[in-house]
Structure 1
Amino acid sequence: MSLFQLTGFQRDLMYVTAALDRPSGQEIKDRLEEELGVETTHGRLYPNLDTLVNKGFVERGEIDRRTNYYVLSDAGRQALLERREWESRFFELGDE
């Protein structure tokens, strides 16, 4: 599975998750809103986090009975690195 099959929003969630230390969904939402300047609803956030968990890019754990934390999985980290390499090829071509 590659990041090419994900939405841009899902990739943004992965980057934000990677930047934080075991964030809750609320912390991911807050950081995403801070970075993008756009409100994110819980109805958009959690189904997309669930998709990332189901695809193996993000792992979910329990902070307490009501709150989960999220971390980028090894597969997610590798997929972001591969995506970065792919994107950088286009910048290199433009510099020639």
Structure 2
Amino acid sequence: MDELTGFQRDLLFVVCGLDDPNGLDVKAELEDYYQSSINHGRLYPNLDTLVDDGLVEKGRADDRTNRYALTDTGERMVERRRDWQDRYVDG
């Protein structure tokens, strides 16, 4: 997890928390959290990096829309991060 940027880590958590999200679903969640606009030039290259790193799977929902899901490796990474955070932050 230490090799990821904070934004990429947030992407992992959003993909983990949504049911089979597309890119616009992820974008909307992050914009709500950050309280600012996320442009496509930031979102999709970072999602592609997570796909290339084997943390996220990208599949086709239709001809124009991709769906994202965590891989087993991505899920383990999120779980390890949550366990680590829980040691320092009360529930």
| TM-score w.r.t. length of structure 2 | 0.91
Instruction: Pick from 12, 15, 20 the counterpart of residue 17 of structure 1.
Output: 15
Q: 1:23 to 1:91 in 2, by over 3 A?
A: closer
SS in 2 for 1:22: coil
Structure with more helix by fraction:
1
CA RMSD of the aligned region, Å? 1.3
In the alignment, structure 2 segments of 5+ residues that lack a partner are none
Q: Percent identity?
A: 49
In the alignment, structure 1 segments of 5+ residues that lack a partner are none
State the partner residue of 1:6.
4
SS in 2 for 1:71: strand
- Computing the radius of gyration from Cα coordinates, the structure with the larger value is 1
Q: CA deviation at 1:90?
A: 3.4
Instruction: Could you list the structure 1 runs, at least 4 aligned residues long, displaced by more than 6 angstroms after superposition.
Output: none
Give distance in 2, aligned partners of 1:42 and 1:17. 16
State the partner residue of 1:77.
75
State the partner residue of 1:27.
25
Between stretches 42-51 and 83-92, larger displacement belongs to 83-92
